[in-house]
Structures are given as C-alpha cells and as structure tokens.
C-alpha cells in the first residue's frame, strides 16, 4: 500500500495537473493574508471553505491523471481493485496535508492574528481543515471520467461545490424546505455561525464541534465507500 501511495503521488506530481489549483490557491492566500490583523475564527471559516474547494479540485485532477492503459496495468499488478482505489484516495489526502498546514502556520508565524492563538485552538484549526479536506476529496473523486464524460463532469462538479460552499440556509432562511434540505449537504459551513459570533473569543470544544467531527467523518466515509462500489461496478462492465 505504501509503495502504491508513493507511486500515485509521484505520477501526479509528474503530470503537473496540480499547478492550476495550487496557483489559484496561492493567489487566494496572498489576498486573504494581505491585511492584518485578521480574526482567528472568521479566517478559519474562509480558509476551511477554500481548502474544501482546493481538495475537491485536486481530487478531480488526481483521480483523472493516470493514463487509462497505465491504470489497468497498475490494477492488474496490485491484483486487488479495492486496494488500488483506496491507495489513490489515501495519496490524495496525504498530498493535501502540507497545504492546509501551511495555511494554518502562515498567520501564526507571521503574527497576523488579532491575538495570540492557543494550542487548543491550533488543534481545532487542524481538525477542521483536515475534515473539510477529506470532504472535498470524497466529493471530487466522484467526477472520475470513468463515471462521467469530461465536460458534463466539470459542470456538475462546479454545481455541487457551489451548493456546498454557499450558505443557502442563511440566504433562504425563510424557506424551511431549503433550510432543512441544506442539512443533507456536506457540513462545510456547520460551525460558521458560531465562529462569527465568537469574534475573537476563545473557542471551546463542545457537543456541536463533536457533531461536526462525526458528521464530517461519517459523510466522507460513506461517499468514499460508495465511490469504490460504483467504480468497481463500472469497471466490470
């Protein structure tokens, strides 16, 4: 598995398909951190949404980068399709780790936050960025060209990302159908209201944060399991 993960990351790096999303993300960070001081929790909401978009975009480009012939050769060599797909998903998640850690570290090292950040708050930042990254990957992998044609996949991916990151439950708060339906989408904005109410107050882990952790992990694992089942069935045709 470790060798397969290394192979997948190496193959992706050589493809250079990561450049467009990373260039866009670097531009976002430059703009986001151009004015200081910045709020810890308002910044977390913004960067968490950005990491979600980056992760989903990387997920799409990663899952589609391997040449189809090479993909089948690799799969035959591994002799286990589930391990093959699991290693590719693990490789995407590992590839993304440095980018959300850099996102968290930059304002701390630069002293750009409005106040000193506590170690417990750093842990919360890491947990949130990891979870939304996992959600982004679990959505992005579905837009595999083995499942959808390339052009429709791009449009559908953009639509799905927009639905997740735009707080429709706030925009249409008078429409109960929209408000309740929004609970079905990945919980990227789940803690947003609380973060904004905090201002620069201290964040403490309570049942709402634990619900966010549980929902995020559960949502991602269900999507990844579903993806593996769908792609295996597709390849058997």
Q: What percent of the chain stands above pLDDT 70?
A: 95
For residue 26, what pLDDT is reported?
A: 94
Residue 58 in this model has a pLDDT that exceeds 90 = yes
Q: What percent of the chain stands above pLDDT 90?
A: 33
Q: Which range, 63-72, 95-104, 178-187, 223-232, is most confident?
A: 95-104
Average pLDDT value for residue range 192-200 = 72
Q: How confident is the model at residue 77 (pLDDT cuts 50, 70, 90)?
A: confident
Average pLDDT value for residue range 208-217 = 90
User: b/e map of 87-116 (b: 16 or more CB within 10 Å)?
Assistant: bbbbbbbebbeebbeebbeebeeeebbeee
pLDDT digits (tens, 9 = 90+) for 134-160: 999 999 998 887 777 767 777 888 888
Task: Work out how many domains the chain is built from and give that number.
Answer: 1
Q: How confident is the model at residue 192 (pLDDT cuts 50, 70, 90)?
A: confident
For residue 218, what pLDDT is reported?
A: 93
Beta carbons of 51 and 133 less than 8 angstroms apart: yes
For residue 150, what pLDDT is reported?
A: 66
pTM: 0.90
For residue 236, what pLDDT is reported?
A: 63
Among candidate residues 61, 195, 188, 209, the one with its CA nearest the CA of residue 134: 188
Supply the DSSP symbol for 185.
S
Average pLDDT value for residue range 210-214 = 91
Q: Which domain holds residue 38?
A: 2-236
Residue 222 in this model has a pLDDT that exceeds 90 = yes
Determine the Cα–Cα distance for residues 189 and 180; give it in Å rounded to an integer.
14
Determine the Cα–Cα distance for residues 220 and 209; give it in Å rounded to an integer.
17
Q: How confident is the model at residue 237 (pLDDT cuts 50, 70, 90)?
A: low
Q: What is the mean pLDDT of the chain?
A: 85
For residue 193, what pLDDT is reported?
A: 73
pLDDT digits (tens, 9 = 90+) for 12-52: 888 888 899 999 999 999 999 988 788 888 888 899 999 99
Beta carbons of 237 and 102 less than 8 angstroms apart: no
Determine the Cα–Cα distance for residues 99 and 71; give it in Å rounded to an integer.
27
């Amino acid at each position: 598995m470790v060798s397969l993960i290394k192979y997948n990351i190496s193959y992706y790096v050589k493809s250079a398909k990561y450049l467009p999303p990373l260039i866009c993300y670097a531009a976002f960070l430059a703009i986001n951190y151009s004015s200081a001081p910045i709020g810890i929790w308002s910044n977390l909401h913004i960067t968490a949404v950005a990491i979600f978009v980056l992760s989903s975009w990387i997920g799409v480009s990663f899952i589609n980068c391997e040449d189809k012939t090479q993909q089948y050769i690799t799969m035959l060599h591994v002799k286990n399709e589930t391990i093959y797909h699991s290693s590719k998903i693990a490789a995407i998640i590992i590839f993304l780790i440095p980018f959300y850690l850099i996102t968290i570290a930059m304002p701390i090292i630069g002293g750009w936050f409005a106040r000193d950040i506590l170690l417990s708050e750093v842990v919360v930042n890491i947990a949130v960025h990891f979870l939304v990254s996992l959600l982004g990957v679990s959505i992005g992998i579905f837009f595999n060209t083995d499942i959808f044609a390339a052009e429709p996949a791009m449009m559908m991916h953009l639509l799905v990302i927009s639905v997740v990151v735009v707080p429709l439950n706030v925009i249409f708060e008078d429409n109960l159908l929209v408000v309740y339906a929004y609970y079905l989408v990945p919980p990227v904005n789940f803690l947003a209201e609380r973060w904004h109410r905090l201002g620069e107050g201290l964040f403490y882990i309570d049942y709402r944060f634990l619900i966010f952790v549980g929902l995020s992990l559960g949502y991602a694992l269900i999507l990844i399991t579903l993806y593996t089942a769908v792609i295996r069935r597709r390849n058997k045709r």
